[in-house]
Amino acid sequence: MAHVAGLLLSSSASLLFPSSSSSSSRRFSLPKPYRSSPSALIMAALNDDPIREWILTEGKATQITRISPIGGGCINHASRYDTDSGSFFVKTNRRIGPSMFEGEALGLRAMYDTKSIRVPLPFKVGSLPTGGSFIIMEFIEFGTSRGSQSVLGRKLAEMHKAAKSDKGFGFPVDNTIGSTPQINTWTSDWIEFFAEHRLGYQLTLAQNQFGDSSIYEKGQRLMKNLRPLFEGAVLEPCLLHGDLWSGNISADKNGDPIILDPACYYGHNEAEFGMSWCAGFGGSFYNSYFEVMPKQPGFENRRDLYMLYHYLNHYNLFGSGYRSSAMSIIENYLQVLNI
């Protein structure tokens, strides 16, 4: 993005301030009534770069001083825009339209409104003129550590407790988990929602993408027999981050936890721990969490079930390296449930 923005800036500069050598070599000029004014050229340059346009208008900046790439993502390109009115965090994707970032923005806003755990406030989502999309959001300066596990657990539980849905399980829009579509059709029954829109969708994707009829057929058997795993559990539709792994967890300069890059929906709170295999949650995290959201009967029996969704998604996104983990979980449940 820095390279693209640099091209736009240099292009605009050459239009507004042509060198004497280039102007002297011109063989013609537009008739005076049709000459573009400097303000028209500025507006044309802004219209070619909707990110720059928003920052210099609604973002209240008059100057972009620096654009720096930020690493860490495998789906999108991220940049920091420094301006005379502060910094902005910008993500772009050259292949996917704005619906992906619109879903992210709605999730960020929903979490932000709980006033529990810190998330970056989204400002603008739009399309890029060359294809793809962008999102502009608050830039948060990270601290030197990931912060306290105990505080993270407590604040995450406070978010789950604060935000409930009266429409059931789902979300106002479909969104993405990584780059995989995540279906969020409102459903009154959690077990039905999780079976159909989480496990079922991923199993169908694996069959269509890899011809994997074995994992599909065994997964379908499990899907139809999930209910015994939820006996005694309270199934409330809590607002979930949805993709909570170590890369989406940080802390600000004060040490307060921050969560990023969500795949939000309203679901059973335990589903939030589905990425625990690469999140690094320790004992202090769970102890603090359960002080606010008490542990439910059968919690340990459902942990692998919620991890299965993410193992299947990694299988579909990144290939066969994750298949054995997903299949092992499915086969273990089939044996435990005797089906």
Q: What pLDDT score does 47 carry? A: 61
Fold of 31-138: Phosphorylase Kinase; domain 1 (3.30.200)
Q: What pLDDT score does 245 carry? A: 96
R_g of the chain, CA atoms, integer Å: 24
Lookup: tokens for 141: 């300066």
The CATH class of the 149-336 domain is: alpha beta
Nearest to 238 by CA among 160, 306, 184, 292: 160
Percent of the chain at pLDDT > 70 equals 86
What whole-number distance in Å separates Cα of residue 232 and Cα of residue 185?
A: 25
Q: What pLDDT score does 144 carry? A: 85
DSSP 203-267: HHHHHHHH--HHHHHHHHHHHTT-GGGGTT-----EEE-S---GGGEEEBTTS-EEE-S---EEE
Domain ranges of the chain: 31-138, 149-336
Q: In degrees to the nearest 10, what's the CA dihedral of 72, 244, 75, 59?
A: -80
The secondary element (H helix, E strand) that includes residue 80 is: strand 77-83
Pairing assessment for the beta strands 175-177 and 238-240 based on DSSP bridges: unpaired
Only one residue has tokens 């009154």, namely 188
Catalytic residue among 166, 174, 189, 243: 243
Verify whether residue 113 is a known catalytic residue: no
The answer to whether 118 touches 42, Cβ cutoff 8 Å, is no
Lookup: tokens for 102: 């619109």
Q: Distance from CA of residue 238 to its chain's centroid?
A: 18
**Model pTM greater than 0.95?**
no
Question: SS3 breakdown of the chain: % helix, strand, coil, rounded to 5?
Answer: 50, 20, 35
Burial class of residue 138, CB neighbours in 10 A (0-12, 13-18, 19+): middle
Q: With H, G, I as helix, E, B as strand and everything else as coil, classify residue 79.
A: strand
Task: Taking each helix axis as running N to C, give the angle between helix 323-336 and helix 213-223, from 0 to 180 degrees, rounded to the nearest 10.
Answer: 40
Residue ranges in the chain whose pLDDT is less than 70: 1-47, 72-73
DSSP category for residue 87: E
Nearest to 237 by CA among 110, 82, 81: 110
